[in-house]
Amino acid sequence: MKNNNPVALITGASSGIGLAVAERLTEAGYKVYGTSRRQAEAGKFRFSMIVLDVTSDASVELTVREVIALEGGIDLLVNNAGFGLEPAAAEESSILQAQALFDTNFMGVVRMTRAVLPHMREQKKGRIINISSILGVVPMPYVALYAASKHAVEGYTEALDHEVRTAGIRASVIEPAYTRTQFEANNIPPDAPLDIYQSIRQTLKQAVNETMKTADEPDVIAQVVLHAAQTNRPRIRYTAGKMAKKLAFLRRFMPSSLLDSGIRKNLGL
């Protein structure tokens, strides 16, 4: 049975940005399906929750099929599920750890997109919004793998948007900076730590804790997602929050040598 309200599927809606987006979209009249890897307690959320692991092809297929069976279609997919690693040198993560990060942050987006596109093409409309990061625009030292996973999301989304636009579908990325969520608490430590980086790792952890004190609330990002979902002429990129806007501006207009030395000075490298 097709619901008259637009239907949104949001990955990783159990906390943080995904939860804020699910709440915003529910308020705006969307019929929202959020996802989590764990079964949600009945009545905990104001929207429907489905169990999904974006690293599993079968789980992704099942979730998309379930929502389409219930609602007749999906109008908006928000690919939000993701995690980070504690700040550490690029060489301190094994290949296995790097693959696990990409499997969620990038391949998760690819899996979900492949699963919804046939239905969106059939209904000749749809929106796909991918939660990237300002680190998908300005890569910072000691978050190389995470920044790379978000650069992959950026490149994929921009190419995809060109491919599906004539089918009535649009794709965008949202680029937040530090946001007050469970993200830092869920960061995974490097699995191949080296003594030579121990001191910079500690310094960076403290710096991140300090920056988090002035971080954006997740609803700041959710408002940008809602705008991107509802506007008739969506852009490919949206920065979200003050710090993200500032960094994107610097990336665009500052000579790269100055940005390079600014980053090194800021981190005491």
Residue 261: CB minimum distance to ligand NDP, A: 24
Identified binder of ligand NDP from the candidate list 9, 178, 190, 226, rule CB under 6 A: 178
Alpha helices by DSSP H, listed for the chain, are 16-27, 57-71, 95-105, 107-123, 144-164, 183-186, 198-212, 218-230, 242-253, 256-267
Contacts with ligand NDP, 131-170, as mask; x by CB under 6 A: x-x-------------------------------------
Unique residue bearing structure tokens 């900076």 = 177
- Quote the CA–CA distance of 106 and 147 in Å, as a whole number: 11
Q: Which stretch binds ligand NDP (CB under 6 A): 32-40, 120-128, 155-163, 261-269?
A: 32-40
Identified binder of ligand NDP from the candidate list 5, 83, 207, 263, rule CB under 6 A: 83
Neighbours of 158 (CB within 10 A): 14
187 is a site residue for ligand NDP (CB under 6 A): no
- Quote the CA–CA distance of 79 and 108 in Å, as a whole number: 8
Could you tell me the two tokens for 101?
């990060």
At 50, is the secondary structure helix, strand, or coil?
Answer: strand
Residues annotated as part of the active site:
14, 132, 146, 150
Residue 259: CB minimum distance to ligand NDP, A: 19
39 or 166: CB nearest ligand NDP? 39
Identified binder of ligand NDP from the candidate list 6, 8, 9, 16, rule CB under 6 A: 16
178-211: b (≥16 Cβ within 10 Å) or e: bbbbebbeebeebeeeeeebeebbeebeeebeee
Identified binder of ligand NDP from the candidate list 63, 93, 104, 239, rule CB under 6 A: 104
Identified binder of ligand NDP from the candidate list 1, 38, 43, 195, rule CB under 6 A: 38
User: Using the 8-state DSSP alphabet, how is residue 174 labeled?
Assistant: E
- Quote the CA–CA distance of 17 and 182 in Å, as a whole number: 9
- Quote the CA–CA distance of 171 and 260 in Å, as a whole number: 30
State the residue number with the nearest CB to ligand NDP: 16
182 is a site residue for ligand NDP (CB under 6 A): yes
Q: Which residues bind ligand NDP (CB under 6 A)?
A: 11-18, 35-38, 52-55, 80-83, 104, 131, 133, 176, 178-179, 181-183, 186
